[in-house]
Amino acid sequence: MMAVLFQKVAILGIGHIGSSLARVIRQRGLAAQLVTYDVSAVHRLKAMELSIVDAAFDSLAEAVKEADLVILATPVGSYADLTAAMAPDLMAGAIVTDVGSVKLAVVRDVGPVLPEGVHFVPGHPIAGTEFSGPESGFAELFQGRWCILTPPSGTDEAALAKLVALWEAAGSMVEIMEAGHHDRVLAITSHLPHLIAYTIVGTATDLETSLQQEVVKFSASGFRDFTRIAASDPVMWRDIFLNNREAVLDVLQRFHEDLTALQRAIRWGEGDKLQDLFTRTRAIRRSIIDARQA
Amino acid sequence: MMAVLFQKVAILGIGHIGSSLARVIRQRGLAAQLVTYDVSAVHRLKAMELSIVDAAFDSLAEAVKEADLVILATPVGSYADLTAAMAPDLMAGAIVTDVGSVKLAVVRDVGPVLPEGVHFVPGHPIAGTEFSGPESGFAELFQGRWCILTPPSGTDEAALAKLVALWEAAGSMVEIMEAGHHDRVLAITSHLPHLIAYTIVGTATDLETSLQQEVVKFSASGFRDFTRIAASDPVMWRDIFLNNREAVLDVLQRFHEDLTALQRAIRWGEGDKLQDLFTRTRAIRRSIIDARQA
C-alpha cells in the first residue's frame, strides 16, 4: 500500500488499459474511491464482478462528480464529446488525463473544452496487448514500460507531479515530451507497424478460401506475428489513424520509398543490397534487447 | 529411442535448423552415425563441443561418403555448388533432402545435378527463430509444426516414406505439396512478412540518431515485433528473395495496392473503411489460434 494520491478517481472506459490501471490503483491503494463510466452494460457488470472498481456508472456526471482525477480511456475519437459532456460536472482543481495513442489531436479536442481551474495533463502509456475489454487487463501491464506525458506549456506543476507519481506507482518510467514530437515518434514505432500489419493480414483475407486456409496453417513462418498486431481493437485504431494523419502519411511515404527500392533490388537480383540492409537491421534488434524493451 | 532410420546421416551446414535436426536425430536415435559438414571452423568446433554430432568435417566428400541421408541445411544460394561438389561421392541409393524456404529453385538447382540412383526429396520445416548458429538450435523446434515436402513426380516411394518418418519423429505434421504451390504460399506467409519487417526496420535505421534512440526506447508499441523478424539471418534471407523472385514480386504488388488504398482512406478520413478492414483482420487471428499455430 502506498499513500493515497487521489480522493476519487474516475476512469472513463473500462477496457484493456482502463481496467489495467484500475487494478494498479486498487492494488496499490492509490485512491480512496475508484469508479468507472462505460457505455457498455457488459463492461460495467464485468468491472463490478472483477471487483476492480467501487462503482460502475452509465451516468458520466455521476462518475466524474467530486473526482480529483478523471482518466479518459476510451478511443480518442470519443474524447471531444465526452469532455464537452462532463465539463459542467468537473470539480474545480480536478486533474483530467488520458491514455490515448495520439497527443496533438487530444490537446486540440480536450484542452479548450475544459473549464477554468481544471488541470489537463495528456498521457500515453506505451503498453498493451492485442486483447480488449475489462477482463483482459492486468496490474503488471505497465511495469518496466514507458509512459509519455505531454503537458501543454503552463501546465500546473503539482498536477503534473501527481500524474508522474501515479505512473511510477504503476511501475512505469515517465518521459515528458512535446505533443507533436510524441505523434511523430509513435507514427514510426506504433502506427506504421500496425498499419502494415493490418494491410498484410488484409491482403491474406482477400485470397481465395483454399489458399487462405494454407496461410493459416503455415502462419508460423512469419505471418502469425503480424496477425497478433492486426487483432488489436478496430475502433481504437481507426481513431488513431484519423487523428494522426499527417505524421502517419509522412512516415508511410518513407516506407513506400524504401519498399520500392527493395522491390527493385529483388527484381534485378541485387543480392548485395539485400544482404547489406538485412545486416543493418540486426543491429537495432540488439539495441532493443539492450534497452530491455524486447 | 526409436528404430534406426538411417545408417549415416550427413547434415550440410550446422546452423539453427541443421543443429536442431541433429539434436532430434541424436536424441531419438534415428541414425547409427551422424556427421556434419560446415565451412565454418567455429561451427564445427561448437557442434563437437555440444556433442550433437559424431564428427564435423571440413571435407564434403568425407561427410557424405556412405551416407544414406544427406540434408542440405545451408543458405539455398549455396545448394547448386554444394550439390555439384558432392555428386561424385554420393552413395547409390542415398537420399538427398533439404530444409530450404524456397522449393522451385531447389528442384531446378539440385535435382538435375544428382547422379542416377540418388533420391531427391525437397523439404521445408515451417519452424525457426530469429537466432542463428549451432548453439541456437533445440530439439523441440519442430514439435507441433508443419513440414512441407515437395517430391518431384516419380520420386521413389520408399525414400519419401523415410523422410516422412524422420519429420514425424521430430514431432512435425507432414504436408506433401507441389513446389510451385509451396513457393506461392510461403511468399505470402513468410517471405512478404520478412520483407516488410526488414523494410520498416530499415526505414527506422535511416532516421537521425536522436529519433532512432527514441524509436528503440518506445519500441514496445509495435515496432519491436518487427525487429525480431528483421533479426533473421541476412544471407539466408538474401538467398530466399533471389530464389523466389516471381512469387514475392507478385504478392508484393498486391500488398502495395492494398496499402495504397489504406493510405488513401487515411488521407480522406474514411473511418468506416479503416474499421471494416481492422475488424476483418481480427478473424484470421482467431483461425490461427484455433489451428494451434499461434
Is the pLDDT assigned to residue B212 strictly greater than 60? Answer: yes
Nearest to A216 among B192, B200, B284 (CB): B284
Alpha helices of chain A — where are they, by DSSP H?
16-27, 41-49, 60-64, 79-86, 104-110, 157-169, 179-186, 192-205, 209-217, 223-229, 234-243, 245-267, 271-290
pLDDT at A111 over 70: yes
The verdict on B113 and B234 lying in the same domain is no
The pLDDT of residue B190 is above 80? yes
Whole-angstrom CA distances from A182 to A109, A171, B87 are 16, 21, 59
Residues B228, B204, B269: CA angle, nearest 5 degrees: 105
Q: A204 and B284: CB-CB below 8 Å? A: yes
Q: Is residue B249 part of a domain?
A: yes
Nearest CB to B205 within list A205, A275, A280: A280
Chain A partners within 8 Å of B126 (Cβ):
218, 220-221
Cβ-based neighbours of B271, under 8 Å, separated by 6 or more: A77, A238, A239, A242
- The one-character DSSP state at B231 is T
Q: How far is B124 from chain A (nearest CA, A)?
A: 11
Domain containing residue A248: CATH number: 1.10.3660.10
pLDDT at A187 over 80: yes
- Residue A9 predicted with pLDDT over 60: yes
Q: Is residue A1 part of a domain?
A: no
What is the rounded average pLDDT for all residues in chain A? 94
Closest CA in chain A for residue B101: A221
Q: What is the pLDDT of residue B2?
A: 65
Would the CB atoms of B205 and A127 count as touching at under 8 Å?
no
Buried-exposed string A12-46: b where 16+ CB fall within 10 A, e elsewhere: bbbbbbbbbbbbbbbebebbebbbbbbebeebbeb
CB atoms B227 and A288 under 8 Å:
yes
Radius of gyration of chain B (CA): 21
Euclidean distance between CA atoms A247 and A187, whole angstroms:
6
Question: Strand B123-125 to strand B55-57: parallel, antiparallel, or no bridges (unpaired)?
Answer: unpaired
pLDDT in tens, A191-248: 999 999 999 999 988 888 888 889 988 988 889 889 988 988 999 999 999 999 999 9
- Residues B186 and B193: their CA atoms lie apart, in Å, by 10
Domain identity same for A224 and A123: no
Residue bearing cell 515451417: B126
CATH number at residue A15: 3.40.50.720
Round the average pLDDT of chain B to a whole number and report it: 94
pLDDT > 90? residue B33: yes
Judge if B82 and B218 occupy the same domain: no
Has residue B3 got a pLDDT over 90? Answer: no
Please name the residues in contact with A209: beta carbons below 8 A apart, sequence gap of 6 or more.
none
Which of B178, B199, B224 is where one domain is finished?
Answer: B178
Return the number of CB contacts < 8 Å for A and B: 302
pLDDT tens figures, B118-127: 999 999 999 9
Query: In A, which residues are within 8 Å of B255 by CB distance?
Result: 199-200, 203
Domain count within chain A? 2
Distance in Å, alpha carbon of B241 to nearest chain A alpha carbon: 6
Residues B157 and B210 in one domain: no
For B63-117, write each residue's pLDDT tens digit. 999 999 999 999 999 999 999 999 999 999 999 999 999 999 999 999 999 999 9
> Minimal Cα–Cα distance from A207 to chain B, Å?
10
Candidates B223, B242, B281; nearest CB to A201: B281
Which has the minimum average pLDDT: A170-184, A272-286, B264-278? A272-286
Q: Nearest chain B Cα to A264, which residue?
A: B249
B160 and B187 share one domain: no
* Residues A163 and A185 grouped into a single domain: no
Q: Is B276 exposed, middle or buried (0-12, 13-18, 19+ CB in 10 A)?
A: middle
Q: Do A192 and A61 have their domain in common? A: no
Spell out the residues 6+ positions from residue A214 whose beta carbon is closer than 8 angstroms to its own.
Answer: B185, B189
Residue B1 pLDDT level (bands cut at 50, 70, 90) = low
A159 and A36 fall within a common domain: yes
In a domain, A45, yes or no: yes
Choose the final residue of a domain: A125, A147, A177: A177
- B266–A242 CB contact, under 8 Å: yes
| B1 occurs within a structural domain | no
Provide, as residue numbers in chain A, all residues whose Cβ is less than 8 Å from the Cβ of B129: none
A52-103: pLDDT as tens digits: 999 999 999 999 999 999 999 999 999 999 999 999 999 999 999 999 999 9
The letter for the amino acid at B185 is V
Residue A157: inside a domain, yes or no?
A: yes
Q: Do B140 and B189 reside in the same domain of the chain?
A: no
> Mean pLDDT throughout B54-61?
98
CA distance to partner chain A, nearest, from residue B32 (Å): 31
The answer to whether the CB atoms of A242 and B193 lie below 8 A apart is no
pLDDT score of A114: 97
Q: What is the reported pLDDT for A3?
A: 78
Is A214's CB within 8 Å of B278's CB?
no
Mean pLDDT confidence for B122-149: 94
CB contact under 8 A, B294 and A224: yes
Domain encompassing residue B220: 181-290
Instruction: State which of B147, B178, B209 marks the end of a domain.
Output: B178
Inter-chain CB proximity A216 and B293 less than 8 Å? yes
Name every chain A residue with its beta carbon within 8 A of the beta carbon of B256: 259
**Among the listed residues A130, A76, A199, A173, the one whose alpha carbon sits nearest the alpha carbon of residue B222:** A130
Closest chain B residue by Cα to residue A228 = B285
Percent of chain B with pLDDT over 70: 99
The predicted pLDDT at position A65 comes to 98
Which of A24, A6, A27 lies closest to A70 in space, CA to CA? A6
E-state strands within chain B: 6-12, 31-37, 55-57, 69-72, 95-98, 119-121, 123-125, 146-149, 173-176
- Read off the pLDDT of residues A20-50 as tens digits, 9 standing for 90 and up: 999 999 999 999 999 999 999 999 999 999 9
- B26/B81 same-domain check: yes
Task: Report the b/e string of B174-211 with b at 16+ CB within 10 A.
Answer: bbebebebbbbbbbbbbbbbbbbbbbbbbbbeebeeee
B146 contacts on A by Cβ (under 8 Å): 217-218, 220
Flag whether pLDDT at B24 surpasses 90. yes
Helical packing angle, B245-267 and A192-205, nearest 10°? 120
A184 CB neighbours in chain B (<8 A) are: 211
Does residue B156 sit in the same domain as residue B219?
Answer: no
Integer Cα distance of A231 and A197 in angstroms? 9
**C-alpha to C-alpha distance for B100 and B244, rounded to whole angstroms:** 11
Mean pLDDT computed over B26-38: 97
B145: nearest CB among A220, A228, A231:
A220
Are residues A153 and A216 part of one domain?
A: no
pLDDT at A238: 96
Q: Label residue A2 by pLDDT band (50, 70, 90).
A: low
Neighbours of B163 (CB within 10 A): 23
Exposed (0-12), middle (13-18) or buried (19+): which is A207, by Cβ within 10 Å?
middle
How many Å apart are CA A227 and CA B288, to the nearest integer? 8
What is the gyration radius of the CA atoms in chain A, in angstroms?
A: 21
Give domain status of residue A261, yes or no.
Answer: yes
Q: Are A67 and A41 in contact (CB under 8 A)?
A: no
Per-residue confidence band for A1, with pLDDT thresholds at 50, 70 and 90: low
A238:B274 CB<8 A: yes
- Considering Cα of B226, then B232, then B238, then B239, what sign does the dihedral take? negative
pLDDT at residue A151 above 60? yes
Any domain includes A186:
yes
Asked whether residue B38 is assigned to any structural domain, the reply reads yes
Dihedral sign for Cα atoms in the order B242, B243, B245, B248: negative
Q: Which of B235, B249, B294 sits opposite A266 (nearest CB)?
A: B249
Nearest residue on chain B to A215, alpha-carbon basis? B189
